Amino acid sequence: MADLNNTAIVSAAGAHWQDTEGDWRNLNSDVRGTAVIIHALTQTDPTNPLLPLAVRWLMGSRTAVGWSTTYETAWNLLALSDWMALTGELQPDFAFTVQANGATLAEGALAPTMAADTVNLPLPAADLRLDEMKRKPFGSI
Same domain, yes or no: 19 and 78: yes
Cα 111 to Cα 57, 76, 92, 95, 105, distances in angstroms: 28, 26, 5, 9, 20
In our burial notation (b when 16+ CB lie closer than 10 A, e otherwise), range 35-57 reads bbbbbebbeeeeebebbebbbeb
pLDDT score, position 141: 46
| Residues facing 106 on adjacent strands | 98
Answer yes or no: is 137 within a domain.
Answer: no
* Domain extent at residue 99: 94-132
Same domain, yes or no: 114 and 75: no
Same domain, yes or no: 68 and 125: no
Those residues of the chain that have pLDDT short of 70 are 22-23, 26, 130-141
3-state SS class at 63: strand
Same domain, yes or no: 123 and 108: yes
pLDDT score, position 79: 96
Number of domains observed in the structure of the chain: 2
Same domain, yes or no: 46 and 83: yes
Same domain, yes or no: 32 and 60: yes
Answer yes or no: is 25 within a domain.
Answer: yes
